[in-house]
C-alpha cells in the first residue's frame, strides 16, 4: 500500500523543509553560483548537493518505453487497467473488469503495429517515426494503450482536451500536423463536420466499436454512415479492434525513443491567444516519476481512481507513477456527477483530485456532520473539535475514540481504503484542507506546478498539519524568487522574501512547439522557467502563492489588482460560489463581480432569506432568486466574510455582485478547457450588468448624495 519513505540522510542541522543555497556553501547543477545569492535559490534540504533526474532504484530506465517494459516484466500477471463495462441490454454499468500487464502489453504491441501499418502502408506516409498522433477522449484503457503504443514506436502523442471547442481542436490538429486522431465515438462527427478545416487529417480511429448491428434489414447503421461520411471527406474511419487486428497481422519491431526526444505535446489553454504546445520529453517524465518516488512509495497493492483529464499533465503523471509501481488504475465512467459511485465500487487507496471536487465533498460532509441538527450535530462538533485540536498540536489525524464513533463511517464516502489524497491545480482553503485531514484520517498533500514543469514544483510534507501553503521544493527542481518591482515584490522583503517563482531542473519542458518567441519569454538562457506566480517563503521554507503576475491592472487610486487571486480566495472560502469573475479597471476605484451560484448550497441559503421553496429543477425559480435584492445583499456579505477570511485588503473586496445562472462554459467561450476565465469575453458578455453595478455604486456613495 501507499506509504512514505524516509528521505536520504539530511545535512546536519536541517530537520525538515529546505536549505537556502548561497554562493559560499553550494553549487547549482555543477556550476558555481556567482556573486551574491540574489535572487535566492531554494532546494529541498535532503537534496542540496544534487537534484533528482532519474528513478533512484532503477537508474537504467531512461524513457517511458523503458519504464513500461520494466513493469510488464516485473508485474506480468498483476491486474493493471480496469473499467466498468456498460450492459446495453440492462442499461447499467457492471463492476470493474481488469486486464493484466501482460494483456495490456499485447494490446499495446498490436495497436502500435497497426497504427504504424496504417500510417505507412495504407496512408502512404514515408516518415516512420517522430510523427504526431492525436488522442481525444476521457480517460479509459484505450487512452493508455494508444499513448504507450506511441512510446513503443517513437511517436509523439498529442492530447486533445475532451472539452475543447472546435476552434482549438482545429488549431492543434493543424499546428501539430496530425494525420491520425484516436478518439471516442462522440467526437468523430465533430472531426468530420470540420474536415475542410483540417487538411492534414487523413484517418480517425474510434475507441468505441463500430461493428454495431443493423436493427432493421436493409437499414443503414450509424457506423456505415460514419464510414461513408469519412470517405466523402477523404478521411478513413476505423475502430480500435480493426487497428489491433492489423497489428496482429502485420507486427512491427519496436522503435525505442531516446531520453531527449519529445514524448508528448501538451497544449496549454491560455486565457488569450492560441494554445501553446509544450514539448515534454522522456527525460521530463522520468525525472517526474523519480521525484515522486522520493518520499511517497506507491506499491503494486495500490489502487488509483483515474478521473483527472489525461490531456492535463497532472493526470498523466499520476498514471505513470502507478504504472511504474505496478499498481491498479481504475477509470471512472466519464460522468463526474457519478464519480463517488465509481469510488465506492473501486475502493481506491490513492485519490488525486482538484479543489473544485474536494470543496463539494467538504460541503456535503459539513452539512451531514457539524451542521446537522440534534444529537448527530452535537456529537460531530465535539469530534471535529477534538481532532482539530490534535491536528493543530501536531499529534496527527487519528483519534481512538472519535474515529470509532464517527470518522470511520465518514471514510466510507471514499471507499474506506484511501491513504493519500492529493490536490493541486488551484488553491484550496485552509479550513477545507484541515477538515479533510481529520475527516478521512489520511495524508492530504497539496502540490504546485505547471504543464511546463510537469506539474512538479513543490509539495507539502506527509506529516504537515499547518495549512495554507504549497510546501517545499520537490527533489527534482530548485526554485528562486525574482523581483517584480511594478507590484512591489522583492526577494529582499521582510520578514519573508517575495517575488515571481521560477523553476529549474530536469522536469522543466523543452520549449513550445514551433514557437521560439514564447519559449524564450518563458525559459531564460540559464534554464529557469518563469511561472508568472508570485509567492513568498516562510521561516520553515514553505512556499505560499499570494498573487499572479499576469492579468493585473490598476484601480483609479493606483492600487494593483490581481483578479485571479481574488477569485481563488472567494471561490475557496465561500461555498455559495460555483463560478466567479471579478472585474475592475483603471477608471474605477472599486471591484464588482459576476457570480454563478452553487445550487446545492445557494438554494437553501436563498430560500431561507425570502421564505421560498425553490427546488433544483426549477430554473425559473432559481433565476428569480438571483434577482432578489435581499439575496444579492446577503451573498455580497458572504463574499465579504470570505474575503476577510482570505486576508484580502479593503480595495480587493468586491462591492457589488451580479447573480446569474448563465454559467461560464467552453461552448460560450467564457472559460478555457482548464476552467480558467477568459476575462475579455466575460466582460463583454456582462458589460451591461457591470455598467449597472458601477452606476449603483456611484448613486449610493456619500459623494453622490451631497
Q: Where are the alpha helices (DSSP H) in 162-221?
A: 166-175, 188-193
Pair 156, 302 in one domain: yes
CB atoms within 10 A of CB 552: 17
Q: Rounded distance, CA 496 to CA 539, Å?
A: 7
Lowest mean pLDDT among 33-47, 118-132, 383-397, 492-506: 33-47
- Are residues 337 and 278 part of one domain? no
Q: Is 33 exposed, middle or buried (0-12, 13-18, 19+ CB in 10 A)?
A: middle
Contact 512, 277 (CB under 8 A): yes
* Inside any domain, residue 206: yes
Q: Considering the chain, what percentage of its residues have pLDDT values greater than 90?
A: 68
Q: What is the pLDDT of residue 165?
A: 63
**pLDDT tens readout for residues 301-357:** 999 999 998 988 999 999 999 999 999 999 999 988 899 999 999 999 999 998 878
Residue found under cell 430554473? 619
Assigned domain for 567 exists: no
Read off the pLDDT of residues 571-583 as tens digits, 9 standing for 90 and up: 888 989 999 999 9
For residue 213, what pLDDT is reported? 54
Q: Are residues 279 and 372 in the same domain?
A: no
What is the per-residue pLDDT for 682? 92
How large is the average pLDDT for residues 11-33?
A: 29
For residue 581, what is the domain's CATH number?
3.30.300
Q: Is 627 domain-assigned? A: yes
For residues 630 and 273, the model is more confident at 630
pLDDT of residue 11: 34
At 234-274, the pLDDT tens digits run 999 999 999 999 999 999 999 999 999 999 999 986 555 67
* Domain contains 508: no
Q: Other C-beta atoms within 10 Å of 315: how many?
A: 19
Residue 21, pLDDT > 80, answer no
The residue among 282, 299, 325 that closes a domain is: 325
pLDDT band at 32, cuts 50/70/90?
A: very low
Instruction: Return the pLDDT at 666.
Output: 79
260, 407: one domain: no
Same domain assignment for residues 155 and 232: yes
Least confident piece of the model among 217-231, 307-321, 688-702:
217-231
Of 102-116, 477-491, 550-564, which one has max mean pLDDT?
102-116
Q: If you ran DSSP here, which 8-state letter would residue 136 be given?
A: E
Q: Provide the pLDDT for residue 671.
A: 83
Q: What is the pTM of this model?
A: 0.82
Q: Are residues 36 and 71 in the same domain?
A: no
Q: What angle do CA 598, 603, 609 make, to 5 degrees?
A: 125
Please answer whether residues 462 and 443 qualify as being in contact, where contact means their C-beta atoms are separated by less than 8 angstroms.
Answer: yes
If asked whether residues 106 and 171 sit together in one domain, one would say yes
Closest CA to 479 of 531, 414, 547: 531
pLDDT of residue 168: 81
Residues 455 and 362 in one domain: yes
Residue 161: per-residue pLDDT: 80
- Is residue 565, in this structure, part of any structural domain at all? no
pLDDT, position 7: 42
Residues 614-652 as b/e (b if ≥16 CB within 10 A, e otherwise) read beeeeeebbeebbebeebbebbbebbbebbebbebeebb
What's the total number of domains in the chain?
Answer: 4
Question: Which residue in this structure is represented by grid cell 499485447?
Answer: 106
The grid coordinates of residue 442 equal: 489520511
CA 306 – CA 351 distance, rounded (Å): 8
The answer to the question of residue 669 being in a domain is yes
Q: What is the DSSP string of 566-594?
A: HHHHHHHH-TTEEEEEEE--TT-SSEEEE
User: Nearest-5° angle of CA 451, CA 456, CA 458?
Assistant: 130
Question: What phi-psi label fits residue 91: left (phi over 0), alpha (psi between -120 and 50 degrees) or beta?
Answer: left
CATH number at residue 282: 3.40.50.12780
| Domain identity same for 124 and 240 | yes
Position 112 in a domain: yes
Residue 175: which domain range? 64-325
Q: How confident is the model at residue 74 (pLDDT cuts 50, 70, 90)?
A: very high
Q: Taking the CB of residue 443, how many other CB atoms lie within 10 A of it? A: 21
From 296, 325, 354, give the residue that closes a domain.
325
More confident residue, 9 or 176: 176
The pLDDT of residue 35 is above 50: no
92 in any annotated domain: yes
What 3-state class would DSSP assign to 412? Answer: helix
Both 321 and 356 in one domain: the answer is no
- Per the CB < 8 A criterion, the answer to whether 259 and 277 are in contact is no
Under the banding of pLDDT at 50, 70 and 90, the label for residue 106 is: very high
Residue 420 and residue 473 share a domain: yes
State the average pLDDT over residues 544-568. 80
pLDDT of 145 > 50? The answer is yes
Say what the pLDDT of residue 25 is.
26
For residues 93 and 234, state if they share a domain: yes
CA dist 343 and 254 (Å) reads: 36
Average pLDDT of the chain? 88
Q: How confident is the model at residue 562, as a pLDDT?
A: 81
| 413 contact partners, CB below 8 Å, separation of at least 6 | 340, 361, 365
Amino acid at each position: 500500500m501507499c506509504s512514505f519513505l524516509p528521505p536520504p540522510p539530511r545535512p546536519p542541522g536541517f530537520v525538515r523543509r529546505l536549505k537556502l543555497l548561497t554562493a559560499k556553501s553550494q553549487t547549482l547543477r555543477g556550476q558555481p553560483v556567482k556573486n551574491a545569492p540574489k535572487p535566492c535559490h531554494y532546494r529541498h534540504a535532503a537534496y542540496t548537493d544534487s537534484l533528482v533526474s532519474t528513478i533512484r532504484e532503477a537508474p537504467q530506465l531512461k524513457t517511458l518505453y523503458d519504464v513500461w517494459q520494466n513493469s510488464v516484466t516485473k508485474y506480468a500477471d498483476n491486474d493493471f487497467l480496469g473499467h466498468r463495462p456498460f450492459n446495453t441490454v440492462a442499461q447499467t454499468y457492471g463492476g470493474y473488469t481488469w486486464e493484466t500487464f501482460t494483456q495490456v502489453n499485447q494490446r499495446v504491441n498490436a495497436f502500435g503495429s497497426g497504427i504504424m501499418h496504417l500510417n505507412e502502408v495504407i496512408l502512404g506516409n514515408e516518415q516512420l517515426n517522430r510523427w504526431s498522433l492525436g488522442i481525444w477522449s476521457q480517460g479509459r484503457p484505450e487512452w493508455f494503450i494508444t499513448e504507450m503504443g506511441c512510446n513503443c514506436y517513437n511517436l509523439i502523442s498529442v492530447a486533445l482536451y475532451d472539452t475543447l471547442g472546435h476552434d482549438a481542436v482545429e488549431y492543434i490538429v493543424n499546428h501539430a500536423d496530425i494525420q491520425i486522431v484516436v478518439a471516442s465515438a462522440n467526437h468523430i462527427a465533430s472531426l468530420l463536420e470540420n474536415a475542410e478545416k483540417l487538411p492534414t487529417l487523413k484517418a480517425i480511429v474510434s475507441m468505441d466499436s463500430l461493428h454495431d448491428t443493423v436493427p432493421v434489414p436493409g437499414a443503414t447503421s450509424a457506423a456505415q454512415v460514419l464510414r461513408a461520411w469519412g470517405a466523402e471527406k477523404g478521411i478513413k474511419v476505423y475502430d480500435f479492434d480493426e487497428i489491433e487486428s492489423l497489428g496482429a497481422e502485420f507486427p512491427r519491431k519496436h522503435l525505442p525513443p531516446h531520453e531527449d526526444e519529445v514524448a508528448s505535446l501538451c497544449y496549454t489553454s491560455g486565457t488569450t491567444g492560441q494554445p501553446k504546445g509544450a514539448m515534454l520529453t522522456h527525460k521530463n517524465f522520468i525525472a517526474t516519476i523519480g521525484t515522486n518516488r522520493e518520499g511517497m512509495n506507491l506499491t503494486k497493492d495500490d489502487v488509483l481512481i483515474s478521473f483527472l483529464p489525461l490531456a492535463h499533465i497532472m493526470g498523466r503523471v499520476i498514471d505513470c507513477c502507478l504504472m511504474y509501481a505496478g499498481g491498479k488504475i481504475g477509470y471512472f465512467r466519464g460522468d463526474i456527477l457519478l464519480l463517488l459511485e465509481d469510488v465506492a465500487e473501486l475502493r481506491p487507496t490513492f485519490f488525486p483530485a482538484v479543489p473544485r471536487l474536494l470543496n463539494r465533498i467538504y460541503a456535503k460532509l459539513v452539512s451531514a456532520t457539524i451542521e446537522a441538527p440534534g444529537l448527530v450535530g452535537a456529537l460531530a462538533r465535539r469530534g471535529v473539535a477534538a481532532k482539530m485540536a490534535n491536528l493543530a498540536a501536531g499529534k496527527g489525524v487519528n483519534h481512538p475514540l472519535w474515529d470509532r464513533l464517527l470518522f470511520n463511517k465518514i471514510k466510507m464516502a471514499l471507499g474506506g481504503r484511501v491513504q493519500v489524497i492529493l490536490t493541486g491545480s488551484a488553491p484550496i482553503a485552509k479550513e477545507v484542507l484541515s477538515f479533510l485531514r481529520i475527516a478521512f484520517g489520511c495524508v492530504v498533500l497539496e502540490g504546485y506546478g505547471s504543464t511546463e514543469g510537469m506539474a512538479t514544483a513543490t509539495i507539502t510534507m506527509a506529516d504537515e498539519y499547518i495549512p495554507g501553503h504549497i510546501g517545499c521544493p520537490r527533489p527534482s527542481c530548485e526554485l528562486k524568487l525574482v523581483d517584480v518591482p511594478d507590484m512591489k515584490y522583492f526577494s529582499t522583503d521582510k520578514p519573508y522574501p517575495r517575488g515571481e517563482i521560477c523553476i529549474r531542473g530536469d522536469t522543466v519542458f523543452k520549449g513550445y512547439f514551433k514557437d521560439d518567441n514564447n519559449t524564450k519569454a518563458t525559459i531564460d538562457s540559464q534554464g529557469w522557467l518563469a511561472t508568472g506566480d508570485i509567492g513568498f517563503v516562510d521561516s520553515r521554507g514553505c512556499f505560499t502563492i499570494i498573487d499572479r503576475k499576469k492579468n493585473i491592472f490598476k484601480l483609479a487610486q493606483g492600487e494593483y489588482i490581481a483578479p485571479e487571486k481574488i477569485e481563488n480566495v472567494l471561490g475557496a472560502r465561500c461555498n455559495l460560489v460555483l463560478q466567479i469573475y471579478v472585474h475592475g479597471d483603471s477608471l474605477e476605484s472599486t471591484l464588482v463581480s459576476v457570480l454563478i451560484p452553487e445550487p446545492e448550497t445557494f438554494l437553501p441559503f436563498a430560500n431561507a432569506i425570502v421564505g421560498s421553496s425553490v427546488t433544483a429543477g426549477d430554473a425559473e425559480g432559481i433565476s428569480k432568486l438571483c434577482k432578489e435584492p435581499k439575496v444579492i445583499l446577503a451573498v455580497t456579505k458572504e463574499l465579504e466574510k470570505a474575503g476577510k477570511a482570505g486576508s484580502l485588503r479593503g480595495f480587493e473586496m468586491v462591492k457589488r455582485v451580479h447573480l446569474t445562472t448563465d454559467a461560464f462554459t467552453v461552448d460560450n467561450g467564457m472559460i478555457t478547457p482548464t476552467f480558467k476565465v477568459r476575462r475579455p469575453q466575460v466582460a463583454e458578455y456582462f458589460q451591461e450588468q457591470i455598467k449597472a453595478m458601477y452606476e449603483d455604486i456611484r448613486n449610493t456613495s456619500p459623494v453622490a448624495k451631497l
